[in-house]
Every structure is written in structure tokens, then in C-alpha cells.
Amino acid sequence: MYCLNEKQIDFILDDIRRNGVELEDLQSNLLDHICCIIEQELEENGDFEQFYFSTIKKFYKNELREIEEETISLLTFKNYYVMKKTMLVSGVISASLLTLGIILKFLHMPGAAVGIVLGIGGMSFVFLPLLFLLKIKEQKETKNKVLIGLGTFAGILMTLGILFKIMFWPGANMMALTSLLILLFVFLPVYFFTGFRNPETKVNTVVSSILILTGCGLFLTLVRSPAGSKLMGIQMTKDYLINEKILENEKRLLMQSAAANSLVLQNKPEVKNLNQLCEDIKQKIVFFEVGTNTIGEDFESKDIWLGDGRVDKYMNEDQGMQQKITALRDYVKNYNANYVAKAGGKLMPLHSNVIDMYQLRSTEALNGIIQLQMCILQNERALILGN
Amino acid sequence: MIYSSELIKGTLKTIILKLLKDNKRMYGYEITQRVKELTNDRIHLTEGALYPSLHALEADGILTTETEYIGKRVRKYYSLSPKGKNVSKEKISEFADFMNTMKFLLDIKTDIA
């Protein structure tokens, strides 16, 4: 039986460390193990170093570090099967929720948003990350691991971007665009040239690359071009200006014909206030869109037009606007109760979407308010004619 | 005959748990030696397979450990935790069941006198 001295034990421990075993527990286990072997099997006057090196070689196939890697992988992936199952279950649940959400959305039934958010959320935060962790374990080369990481990241970003877009949350466009850029200019080239060189994966790589390219292309087809946005904005601004003009003319005609009529509601303070509120809100919306209180016929030459910003966003930015819209709602209720109800249904009740639907686009809101003002004018005409 | 490492891999945990059930506490080298002894040198547990499994079983709470100093080095003794005792029973009966199934599947005639 061989007797190891302290120097030799330090020598072995150093060698184990030098060969990449960093877990302290594992170091001491391996040290004790090899010491036992040496003590049991080496003769008293045997060659320590030679025996040590030939013994430690039997511990591994290529490198001693394998043992540590295997340990870490067992420790990390002790839940491998649970992870795999969770991935599959979460995938099925997310896809089902998304499908259900979309069906509800098309049927315009409640619960659509919940289904879609949970579906996409589960996809982005459970399914895709687990898929990434499991896939990365199968890969040996760092390049492939990075590739899978990039692909997953772009995928998560894209699904979240679409979710943000349909929920009108901020940052959606940025997320979708970033994911597309990563996919097209980083992921795709690396993926293509790695897979293309290998005869075994060549066909699959080409097919997948075509699918990715087509997918991104189709995605971009759905995006409105800046020129398209401009055309749409100009058209909507024109519509709005025409509506304003009609309103103005109506008002003028009514005032002319009713000049001598004491019934003119426009002069009553509550109706006056109602009209004034409408004007104030319109002014604020226009200001938010173009930066000036009014927008004239010559808007095209100034290169400004009403965009498709949303009223609720402006309301968040401006407390005054919120108060005005709330006040408008009260005035409208009041008007309906005081005039419409008393006239026995001959007058039109007032409705305007912006009063209770804050997520309207600004031009929709503007036109809605104009309709409201037109209703007041028509009611006045009905009153005058009725008398 | 020495069995292939693939055959050992699937049963390694069961072997460790059974040995610890019978011997209260053991350290790594002791486990490899006992297995060699009990199988007449036909099963050699490799260090590369044994230690990762021991560490994983410890992390799962199936094994508990004690350390002792042997001169300058540390020796880690493994023993079954209360949970490990149940797992050990389950693993052994699962394997017995598996052997019966394999016997049937591979149509092995056992010649036990």
C-alpha cells in the first residue's frame, strides 16, 4: 500500500483544477477517489506520477472537464422532462387561447383581448424560452447556440410587437421592426451560410430561408407605407374640412332664418356652452395632431395633415381635455333630458362617439363631434318649423 | 464479460440507491469497489458517470452528505434521505418490473435451477 504525502495531494488537486473542474464538491470527490485508488493499487515504491496520469486518464474520454459538464448539465436539467412537458403543454394552451381569442375578436364578443394577450404572452414568455433552453442543450457548437438564441429573441420580440400593436400599447412598431431587422440581417445570413455549406442540411436550409424571407415579406406587406399614410391623412383631413364647412353654412342659414325667432336654442346658455365645448375639444385634437389650433384649406402646401393619433392618448397627456370630454358628456345628457325628452321624441337625441369611446382616432372623433353639432342645428330647425 | 456503459447508464441511480440502502453511508470510491466486488468485476462504474449522478441525487434531496477529513483531503459520505428511502424502493421495484417486461419482450428463457 502506497502512502501519499501532502505535496502529492496538492499536486493532484492542482491538476484536477487545471483541467477545468471548478465545482469544489466535485474536486474533493475526485481527489479522494484518486487518492483511494493510488493508495490501494500502487506499490509502496511505485512511480507516483506515472501511476497518477495513467489512472486519471481512465476517468474520462477526452477531457477531465467532461465530468463537471455532465454534473452541471444533470443539475441544470434535472427537470428536463418536466421542462419538455411544460413546453408542450404551454404551447398547446397558448395556441388554443390565441385561436379562441381571434375567433372571439372576429365575432366581436367579450373575452377576445384576454384570450389573445394570454395566448401571445404564454407563447412569448413560456413556450419560446423553454424551447430555446431545450434546443440549446442539443447543440454542441457555440455558433449554433448563438443562432438559436438570436432566432428565439427575434421570435419573442415579433410576437410581443404584434401583441403591443393590437393592444395599442406603446413601442409596438419599434419591437416588430427590430425583430424583423435581426431576423433578416443577422439571423438569416448566418443561418443560411452555415447550413448551406453542409450537404446534409443544404436543402432544408434553403427551404427554411425561403420561408423566413417570404414570412418577413408578407409581414411587411401588411405595414402601411409612409406615402400611403400621407395619402390617407390628406384624404381624412379633406373630409374633416368639408364637414366643418357644412356645419358652418348650416349655422349661418339657421341664424338667418331664425333671426326673429325667440326660440333659438343656440342663444340659450346651456346650448351655447355645449357648442363651445365641442369647438374646444376639436381645437385641442387638431392642436395635438398638427401643432396649431386650426387647420386651413392650404394644409397640403404646409405639409401638415391630421394623422391617426388616438384620443385616449391625448387625454392622458392633457388633463384639460379629459375634463372637457367629461363635461361634454354631461351637457349632452342634460340637453337630451331638457329638450329632446320634452319635445316628445320629435327632436334627435345627441350621440357622439368620443363621449364614451376614448380609443377613437382623432379624425373619427372630430367628425363625431361635428355630427353632434349638426344634430343640434337640425333640432332647432325642427323646433322653428314646428312653431 | 463487462457490460456496456449504455446498459449501466439507465440503472446507475438504482444501483447507487440500493447500495446506500444496505450500507447506510458510503463514499464514491467505496461504491465503485463494492459494485465490482458484488458483481465479480463485471460491472465497473466509471467516475465520469458516478459523480454527476451522486451530485444530481444530492441536489434532488434524495441523498444527504457528511464530510470527513482524511488527513489533508475531504471525504464525502453519501446516505439516503427519508425521501431517498422511498425513491430507492420505487426504483428497485420499477426495475424489477422492467426486467420482467424485457424478459417477455426479448423472449429470454431464464435457467434458474
DSSP annotation string for A198-227: STTTHHHHHHHHHHHHHHHHHHHHTSPPHH
Of the candidates A358, A361, A343, A365, the one whose C-alpha atom is nearest the C-alpha of residue A376 is A343
* Nearest chain B Cα distance for residue A119, angstroms: 33
Tell me the C-alpha distance between A308 and A233, whole Å.
7
More reliable by pLDDT, A79 or A209: A209
**How many contacts does A have with B, using Cβ atoms within 8 A?**
73
* Nearest chain B Cα distance for residue A80, angstroms: 12
Nearest chain B alpha carbon to A64: B48
Tell me the C-alpha distance between A69 and A83, whole Å.
20
| CATH of residue B45 | 1.10.10.10
More reliable by pLDDT, B20 or A61: B20
Of the candidates A334, A354, A337, A355, the one whose C-alpha atom is nearest the C-alpha of residue A273 is A334
CA A16-A21-A25 angle, 5° bins? 95
pLDDT digits (tens, 9 = 90+) for B87-106: 899 999 999 999 899 988 98
Its domain, for residue B61, covers 5-106
Q: Taking CB atoms and an 8 Å limit, are A78 and B60 in contact across chains?
A: yes
| Disruptive mutation site among A32, A73, A76 for chain B (greatest number of B CBs within 10 Å) | A32
Does B30 reside within a domain?
A: yes
Which residues are CB-contacts of A280 (< 8 A; sequence separation ≥ 6)? A324
| Disruptive mutation site among A14, A19, A29 for chain B (greatest number of B CBs within 10 Å) | A29
Does B65 reside within a domain?
A: yes
Beta strands per DSSP E along chain A:
none
Q: Indicate the angle between helix axes A80-107 and A128-138, nearest 10 degrees.
A: 140
Tell me the C-alpha distance between A73 and A54, whole Å.
27
Q: What is the mean pLDDT of the segment spanning A1-11?
A: 86
Is this structure's pTM higher than 0.95?
Answer: no
For residue B76, what is the enclosing H or E element? strand B73-80
Chain A segment 43-72 residues within 8 A of B by beta carbon are: 58-61, 66-67, 70-71
- pLDDT of A50 > 70? The answer is yes
Pairing of strands B73-80, B25-26: antiparallel
- pLDDT of B8 > 60? The answer is yes
- pLDDT of A268 > 80? The answer is no
Does B113 reside within a domain?
A: no
pLDDT of residue B113: 45
Tell me which chain B residues have a C-beta less than 8 angstroms from the C-beta of A11.
Answer: none
% of chain A exceeding 90 in pLDDT: 33
Q: Taking CB atoms and an 8 Å limit, are B48 and A67 in contact across chains?
A: yes
CA dihedral B93, B96, B98, B101 (to 10 degrees): -130
pLDDT of residue B1: 63
Tell me the C-alpha distance between B27 and B19, whole Å.
11
Length of chain B: 113
% of chain A exceeding 70 in pLDDT: 96
- pLDDT of A207 > 60? The answer is yes
pLDDT of residue A350: 79
Residues in B whose CB is inside 8 Å of some CB of A read: 27-29, 32, 46-49, 51-56, 59-60, 67, 70-76
For residue B69, what is the enclosing H or E element? strand B63-70
Tell me the C-alpha distance between A378 and A382, whole Å.
6
Tell me which chain B residues have a C-beta less than 8 angstroms from the C-beta of A71.
Answer: 51-52, 55-56
Of B53, B59, B75, the CB nearest to A32: B75
Of B47, B49, B67, the CB nearest to A33: B47
Does B68 reside within a domain?
A: yes
Which residues are CB-contacts of A384 (< 8 A; sequence separation ≥ 6)? A257, A258, A261, A263, A264
pLDDT of residue A243: 95
* Residue B109: band (very low, low, confident or very high) from pLDDT cuts 50, 70, 90: confident
* Residue A197: band (very low, low, confident or very high) from pLDDT cuts 50, 70, 90: confident
Long-range contacts of B79-85 (CB under 8 A, 24+ apart): B79/B20, B79/B24, B79/B25, B79/B26, B80/B17, B80/B20, B80/B21, B84/B17, B84/B20, B84/B57, B85/B21
Tell me the C-alpha distance between A284 and A324, whole Å.
10
* Burial group, residue A196, by CB count within 10 angstroms (0-12, 13-18, 19+): middle
Mean pLDDT estimate for chain A: 86
pLDDT of residue A226: 83
Cβ atoms of A30 and A59 within 8 Å: the answer is yes
**Any CB–CB contact under 8 A between A80 and chain B?**
no
Cβ atoms of B77 and B27 within 8 Å: the answer is yes
Q: Taking CB atoms and an 8 Å limit, are B51 and A78 in contact across chains?
A: no
- pLDDT of A384 > 80? The answer is no
* Burial group, residue A241, by CB count within 10 angstroms (0-12, 13-18, 19+): middle
Tally of domains in chain B: 1
- pLDDT of A264 > 70? The answer is no
Q: Indicate the angle between helix axes B12-23 and B47-59, nearest 10 degrees.
A: 70
pLDDT digits (tens, 9 = 90+) for A329-359: 888 888 888 888 777 667 777 777 777 777 7
pLDDT digits (tens, 9 = 90+) for A73-121: 877 766 777 888 899 999 999 999 999 999 999 999 999 999 999 999 9
Q: What is the mean pLDDT of the segment spanning A111-132?
A: 93
* Residue A24: band (very low, low, confident or very high) from pLDDT cuts 50, 70, 90: confident
pLDDT of residue A189: 93
Nearest chain A alpha carbon to B73: A32
- pLDDT of A54 > 60? The answer is yes
Tell me the C-alpha distance between A100 and A103, whole Å.
5
Does B111 reside within a domain?
A: no
Q: Taking CB atoms and an 8 Å limit, are B28 and A78 in contact across chains?
A: no
- pLDDT of A320 > 60? The answer is yes
Of A29, A58, A61, the CB nearest to B51: A29
Of the candidates A352, A379, A339, A359, the one whose C-alpha atom is nearest the C-alpha of residue A243 is A352
The CA distances from residue A76 to A137, A161, A265, B55, in Å, are: 10, 31, 77, 11
